Amino acid sequence: MRIGFVVYPNCSLMGLATSAVFEVANVVRGENVYEMLFLSEKGGLIKTSPGLVLETKRIGGIAIDTLIVDGANEPKPASPAMIKYLQSAQHRFRRVAATCTGALVLGDAGLLDGKRVTTHWLFARTLQEKCPTALVDEDRIFINDGKIWTSAGMSAGIDLALALVEADLGAETARSVARKLVLYHRRSGGQSQFSELLELEPKSDRIQTALNYAKKNLHRPLTVTDLAGAAHLSPRQFSRAFRDETGQSPAKAIESLRVEAARILMEQSRHSIDVVARQTGFADRGRMRRAFLRVLGQPPQAIRRNVRQETEHLRGQSGKARRADKPSVTKKHALRGTASAF
């Protein structure tokens, strides 16, 4: 299966890290399942944003199975030649993907019309304005809608590539690739782009220490006294400093951290909602449901349902790949081009 990476001057080098996923998949399988090419409008040398120069082949005339459009820190409109090439990709290639702001390039070519897509949250509104008929979800790591795959910020391209490998070669191969890449875990497409600890952005080490303590002890009741002790402040000093630095009360921040931890458990485990509620300190599912509605605007059941649907979709694609004859599939694709506790 030939993977074509579309690049252009000042494209993101981080986005091209997705190529490592396919490279390691070949190692895991013990055969060259994937072949990788770097493509540009005119071919030749292309300088990436940090200065590394790539040797590329000219777009057009090369049989491709999966096309992946790289993103850029400062995206620019696609050229007429690139738009024409991408428009033909819908019919010639089996899949078309974009990492980060590469989605804007697909949008220029009209490939996202009517599709559910994502991109880096900083450019989500720009993408929606460019593609008014697309359903832009700025809070997802990656999304697959038919032949179109899109991912969030640069590192999310790794998650997208792992999902592509899982669709082709099965979940066990994708897990083996993730282990060889020393990834802590494979993020599901439904996982949020945002982290509550990053959103809070405390200015002092003391408040950061208290937040780290809270995250490690969410299963326990947490009081202002507990957090103040971790920060080596009096409860009154802590409450005042916490609100000054984060703009939130300690109670609201802890609730958000609990919701984030519960959401991740819902995405990555098969624990029941009652078990998830207990492990994240909500005590019961009713309290967790109310917190989910306040913070995420949807109940825990919706999170679990979205993950299940995405998993079933990937399993369906994996099943198709497993039913095919593996050695011949590789050749065919290459030739075909397709005080109180909180």
Query: CA-CA distance, 91 to 340, in Å (whole number)?
Result: 61
Give the pLDDT of residue 338: 37
Read off the pLDDT of residues 88-147 as tens digits, 9 standing for 90 and up. Answer: 887 889 999 999 999 999 999 999 999 999 999 889 999 999 999 999 987 788 899 999
Give the model's pLDDT for residue 53. 95
Amino acid at 182: V
Three-state secondary-structure class, residue 45: strand
Position 241 scores a pLDDT of 93
CB atoms closer than 10 angstroms to residue 8: 23
The count of other CB atoms within 10 Å of the CB of residue 293 is 14
Q: How distant is the alpha carbon of residue 336 from its chain centre? A: 29
What is the edge-to-edge ordering of all strands in the sheet holding 95-98?
44-47, 53-58, 35-40, 2-6, 66-69, 95-98, 148-151, 142-145
pLDDT of residue 28: 95
Torsion 64-170-311-152 (CA) sign: negative
Q: Kindly report, residue by residue over 194-232, the tens digit of the pLDDT.
A: 555 556 677 788 898 998 899 899 999 999 999 999 999
**pLDDT confidence of residue 208:** 87
DSSP-assigned states of every residue in 121-157:
GGGHHHHHHH-TTSEE-TT-SEEEETTEEEESSTTHH
Encode pLDDT of 62-89 as tens digits: 899 999 999 998 888 999 999 999 998 8
> Of residues 336 and 133, which shows the higher confidence score?
133
C-alpha–C-alpha distance, residues 317 and 311, integer Å:
10
What is the rounded CA–CA span in Å between residue 339 and residue 44? Answer: 66
Tally of residues, the chain: 342
337: how many CB neighbours lie within 10 A of its CB? 17
pLDDT the model gives residue 186: 55
Which architecture, in CATH terms, is 196-298? Orthogonal Bundle (1.10)
Average pLDDT over residues 300-308: 79
For domain 2-192+310-336, the CATH architecture is 3-Layer(aba) Sandwich (3.40)
Predicted pLDDT of residue 327: 43
In the numeric block, which tokens belong to residue 258?
């609990």
Split at pLDDT 50, 70, 90, the class of 328 is: very low
Domain boundaries, the chain: 2-192+310-336, 196-298
Please say whether the beta carbons of 249 and 243 come within 8 A: yes
- State percent of the chain over pLDDT 70: 84
Report, as an integer, the average pLDDT of 265-292: 89
**223-254 pLDDT, tens digit each:** 999 999 999 999 999 999 999 988 889 999 99
pLDDT in tens, 150-192: 998 778 899 899 999 999 999 889 989 988 998 855 555 445 5
